[in-house]
Structure 1
Amino acid sequence: MASNVIYHKLDELPDVLPLFPLRAALLLPRGEMPLNIFEPRYLAMVEDSIRSHRLIGLIQPTPEASDDEERPALVRVGCAGRLTAFAETGDGRYLVTLTGVARFELAEELTAATPYRQARVAFEEFALDLAPGEGQDDVDREALLKTLKDYLAANDLEADWDGIRRAPNEALVNALAMMSPFGAREKQALLEAPDLKSRAEILVAVTEMELARARGDASSSLQ
C-alpha cells in the first residue's frame, strides 16, 4: 500500500515514537503489515498517532521476556511504520496497515503519561533504509528462488510465480522475510541484517536449516 508521504532525510522522522511490542513480528522498510488492534492502550496509540506523525515503532520483546509481563524488556532494534490504512470494525477494534519506513535503535524508553510505551529512538545507523532498492543488485536471486521452491515443495504449497518473477529484489526479499514462519530470534536476525544481500543470505540459510531439520524428523519417524 503506497504512502502519501515519502521520507527522504532522517531529520524528517521524529526522535520519539510510540512503541508496539509484538513478538515474532517483522516489519521492514516499504513492507506492509496488517494489524488487528483491540487492546485499549493500543487503540489509544493508533488514535494519537493519527493525530500526529502517524508513525509507530514496531519492536519485539527480548527472547527472555515472558509473554505475561506487562512491560517486557525490549530488543535493541525495531522498525518505524507509517499508518497507511485505517478502518473501524463497529465492535471497538481498528484494522490498520503499517508500511515500513526505517529501522531504529532504541535509545531510551521514556516515562510517559500515555497508556502505551514511548521511547527516544535513533535512525542514524539505518539511514540507507530511506533509499528504495538500496543494495538489491547484490542479492543472489537465483539462490533465493531455489530455496523458496524447495520450501514450497516440501510443504506442499503454491505460489504466484508470475508475481514473484516480476518483483524487484528488495520487495521479494523483504516480503519473504516478513511472511516467513520462523521464530522471534530468526525474525530479529532478518531485521538487523546490515544490508539486503545479508538479509537474503540469512533467509536462505534459515530456510535450508528448517528444511534439513524437517527431513531429519521425517527420516527418524520412518525408522
Structure 2
Amino acid sequence: MASNVIYHKIDELPGVIPVFPLRAALLLPRGEMPLNVFEPRYLAMIEDALRGGRIIGLIQPDPEEAEDAERPLLVQVGCAGRLTAFAETGDGRYLVTLTGVARFRLAEELKVKTPYRQVRAAFEEFAIDLAPGEGQEDVDREALLKTLKDYLAANNLEADWDGIRRAPNEALVNALAMMSPFGPREKQALLEASDLKARAEILVAVTEMELARARGDASSSLQ
C-alpha cells in the first residue's frame, strides 16, 4: 500500500512517537502490517495519530517480561510506521494498516498523560531504511528461495511462485521475515539486522534450524 508521504531525511520524522507494544510482531520499512485495534488506549492512540503525523511505533515487550504484564519493559529497537489505511467496524474496533518507514532506537520513555505510551525515538543509526532497495543486490536470492521451498514442503504449504519470482529482493526478504512464524527473539534479530543481506542470512539460518529441529522431532517419534 503506497503512502502519500515519502520521507527523504531522518529529521523529517518526529522525535516523539506513540508506541504499540506487540509481542512477536515485526514491522519493517515499506512492509505492511494490518492491525485489529480494540483496546480503548490504542483506539485513542489511533485517533490522535490520525489528527497528527500518522506515525506510530511498533515495538516488542522485552521477551523476559510476563505476557500478561500491564506495563512491560520494552526492547530497545522498534519500527515506526505510517497509518495508510483506516476503517471502522461498527462494533467499536478500528482496522488499520501500518506501512513501515524506519527503525528507531528507544532513547527514552516519556511520562505522559495519554493512556498509551510515548517514547523519544532516535532514528539516526537507521537512516539506510529511507533508501528503498538499498543493498538488495547483495542478497543470496537462490539460498533464500531454496530454504523457502524446503519450509513450504515440510509444512505442506503452497505459495504464489509467480509473485515470488517477480518480487524484488527487498520486498521478498522483508515480507518473508514479517510473515515468518518465529518467536520474539528471532523476530527481534530480524528487525535489528544491519542490512538486507544480513536479514536474509538470519532468515535462512533460523528457518534451517527450525527445519532441522522438526526433522529431529520426527525421527525421535518414530523410534
Report the TM-score when normalising by structure 1: 1.00
| C-alpha distance in structure 2 between counterparts of 1:22 and 1:52, whole Å | 22
- Aligned-residue Cα RMSD (Å) equals 0.3
Q: Report SS of the residue matched to 1:19.
A: strand
Q: Distance in 1 between matches of 2:141 and 2:98?
A: 27
Distance 1:205 1:215 in 2: 15
Match runs of 1:1-223 below 5 Å: 1-223=1-223
Q: Secondary structure at the match of 1:212?
A: helix
> Structure 2 counterpart of 1:12, which letter?
E
Q: Residue 100 of structure 1 aligns to a residue in which SS?
A: strand
Q: Find the aligned partners of 1:199 and 1:88 in 2 and give their Cα distance.
A: 35
Q: 1:11, CA displacement in angstroms? A: 1.0
The CA distance in 2 between the partners of 1:117 and 1:133, in whole Å, is: 32
DSSP-derived class of the 2:185 partner: helix
Determine the C-alpha separation between the residues in 1 that align with 2:187 and 2:52: 29
CA shift digits 1:160-205 (9 cap, x unpaired): 0000000000000000000000000000000000000000000000
Partner SS, residue 65 of structure 2: coil
Please say which of residues 99-108 and 59-68 is displaced more in the overlay: 59-68
Gaps of 5+ in 2: none
CA shift for structure 1 position 68: 1.5
Q: Which amino acid aligns with 1:8?
A: H
**CA–CA distance in 2 between the matches of 1:36 and 1:215?**
35
Bigger mean CA deviation after superposition, 87-96 or 64-73: 64-73
C-alpha separation in 2, matches of 1:192 and 1:216? 29
Alpha-carbon offset, residue 93 of structure 1: 0.1
Q: Percent identity?
A: 87
Aligned equivalents of 1:96, 1:22: Cα separation in 2: 15
Report the CA distance between 1:31 and its aligned residue: 0.1
Q: How far 1:143 moved relative to its partner?
A: 0.1
Q: What's the CA shift for 1:109?
A: 0.2
- Residues in 1 aligned to 2:74 and 2:8: alpha-carbon distance in whole angstroms: 28
Residue aligned with 2:19, SS? strand
Q: Deviations for 1:132-169, whole angstroms, at most 9, x for unmatched residues? A: 00000000000000000000000000000000000000
Structure 2 CA distance for aligned equivalents of residues 214 and 67 of structure 1: 26
Give the drift of 1:25. Answer: 0.1
Q: Which runs of 5+ in 1 are unaligned?
A: none
- Per-residue deviation at 1:13? 0.2
SS state of the match for residue 57, structure 2?
strand
Mapped to 2, the partners of 1:125 and 1:12 lie a distance apart of 15
Moved >6 Å (runs of 4+): none
Code of the aligned partner of 1:43: L
Q: Deviations over 1:110-135 (max 9, x none)?
A: 00010000000100010010000000
Normalised to the residue count of structure 2, the TM-score between the two structures is 1.00
